[in-house]
Structure 1
């Protein structure tokens, strides 16, 4: 690691899709609450956090191009030892490959429907400097496996008991079905094809996913060495993440997974720290207690990063213990 303290950089993208047939309520609230956690608890500077939301008068909309530009810009600033974080709250989707319809790919859905998929996230992670880490927290449907070929640490094989949903909250799945994505893109491109790549290239050209670009180069290797990509997903690849709205007055709309992570962090004393694995397992416990039957957060990363402190939390805890600060 280079001299001095590591930089802590973040990109937060919240998509509520206002005035559309796919509107959500809690995604902007999610990233605003996450920004508070990063600053108050985890040692991030507000100036090093880029916020992309589709709210009125937003400076930067969370389009596919803007999100990827922000991520690549963050990586370009990074050096060895730096801690990078990307939080996405919004819709996810799965789509069949045009050449092999039996295979499904996972993607997040930016506000302009310019999908960012697991191949894109893998290429982004591959550009990290040595010993820098990129943690992705995706509160979206079908988010398990969003970093292509990353190792499963907590996933479908992790057993979690089922329970009953809470009647005090109204849940909306954070998923847009492939047919709806295709219908939206067809209205933009007027192409008579079910090939999602053709629509994305026609609508977004060089800003479309690398998976569909004609000059992406050699395919990704089937096996990759352990890297510094860390994915905390709101659910398994075949599941839905929930956008929660209070059924009566009081409280704010929120994503179930983001809220669970924030609750886990809020229950941790300033001098304590949690590993990435502990954060996900405790978030699973929170969702179980709140009555979620079919949403199981997952963790994908190397063995070393599974045991590593969530977003450098260990260093922050040690600092707080020495200084005696009581952060809220």
Structure 2
């Protein structure tokens, strides 16, 4: 598929917002000194969670860490109220809780709940309510709950059938709710809300912006190592530090790949334990979200899956920002037809079209050409100048439309308009999510700083004051036949 004639010059009308720059915020809650069933491992989770924040590419300037007696039920409520009040448009939010969990009956339903330091319960319904208040403001919300909500399996399928009191280095993170409130088969209201479709005031589904990680399935017990912390949190951090396998060859690491790595570590840790069986990390929300973490080393020239790269970029987009591609026709005859593309964006920004052909051999930038104006106004369809002839080969092509409030410079990768679909180039393209945040991180180096690795090599674009650094993106298929 080839673009057949030159661009038409258009005026750029760039409206710059006047709000504060988007920020990263983290709320880390750890409880170890329960009056009954203390959790010494939670002492380690605060530091581990801080490292996870940084390894995920979040900034460390706005981390609020509370522990133990600060986290009564009222203290937890106040901490979330403060977080909601301080979060501004475009901010990214990370929330961590380590402590006991339980299940209790709330409004006639059996719900998962967190246990505060004063042994009062904080329901998942309350947590879902706080997260709902972030839906129109935060561009990304990550929640990591290292607790569990089912106690029955401690004596049943969660053990290996040995006598009570057998030695184990693991300790369960569960306490029973008070008599009269206890129940079985609890519901995670947060996960329920995410799967049903959290929506913004504009009607956009926001599940893509949320990630909820639970240490165990709802019918399992989560454990801690008293000398190393919660097994889920420690395993996630170990994988982030050890580099995760890029199993889909996208050039980046997704939440799904990180969790697969962490689960393997948990399974290995429990393999020789005489008492307990491993629990399984459970994820709701956007499992395909691409992380800032680097992939395990591989040959820079190794072939990538470029469609997976574009899919990662789409998964990393802000659900509050809707982008649509109208392609006419959606299917074209080779040697006869041509595609005409029109793009609509719910927010104004700079538009880029990235293309992967059916042979999947290279990345191409269809739009803009060098020095071509590429600003798109909000809710005003932009017809891409020219058309794209169906020249073959026959098959399915993929086009990603990405709209950003700041310019994105692909020139180091696509300086001649295209680049081979290698893992090095795929990793560099993935770094479009690095170009406007945490610029001092080593994972956002330029080619001159890290020519040998040949990743993290996008030219950094300056961010205008007040601009959120999220973006909108959508991918479509164009079939040549």
Shared fold (TM-score, shorter chain, > 0.5): yes
1:299 correspondence with 2:283: yes
- Structure 1 residues 284 and 44, CA, compared in 2 at 3 Å: closer, same or farther? same
Contact 1:28 1:89 in 2 (8 A): no
1:32 corresponds to which of 35, 44, 47: 47
1:234 correspondence with 2:208: no
Deviation at 1:259, TM superposition (A): 0.5
Structure 1 Cα separation of the partners of residues 293 and 137 of structure 2: 16
Structure 2 Cα separation of the partners of residues 85 and 169 of structure 1: 32
- Structure with bigger helix share is 1
Deviation at 1:168, TM superposition (A): 9.5
Contact 2:72 2:120 in 1 (8 A): yes
- Structure 1 residues 261 and 316, CA, compared in 2 at 3 Å: closer, same or farther? farther
TM-score by length of 1: 0.65
Q: Which residue of 2 aligns with 1:171?
A: 170
Q: Which residue of 1 aligns with 2:127?
A: 121
- Structure 1 residues 221 and 278, CA, compared in 2 at 3 Å: closer, same or farther? closer
Deviation at 1:258, TM superposition (A): 0.7
Q: Which residue of 2 aligns with 1:200?
A: none
1:243 corresponds to which of 224, 229, 248: 224
More RCO (CA 8 Å, sep 6+): 1
Deviation at 1:277, TM superposition (A): 2.0
Unaligned runs of 5+ residues in structure 1 are 55-59, 144-161, 184-193, 197-210, 212-219, 246-251
Alignment of 1:96-245 (within 5 A): 96-97=105-106, 99=108, 103-128=109-134, 129-130=136-137, 132-142=139-149, 170-178=169-177, 182=178, 194=180, 223-225=196-198, 226-227=205-206, 228-245=209-226
1:95 correspondence with 2:112: no
TM-score by length of 2: 0.46
1:285 corresponds to which of 249, 264, 268: 264
- Structure 1 residues 6 and 277, CA, compared in 2 at 3 Å: closer, same or farther? farther
Contact 1:90 1:139 in 2 (8 A): yes
- Structure 1 residues 311 and 106, CA, compared in 2 at 3 Å: closer, same or farther? farther
Unaligned runs of 5+ residues in structure 2 are 1-15, 151-158, 183-188, 199-204, 245-250, 272-276, 295-430, 454-481
1:260 corresponds to which of 208, 218, 235: 235
Structure with bigger gyration radius: 2
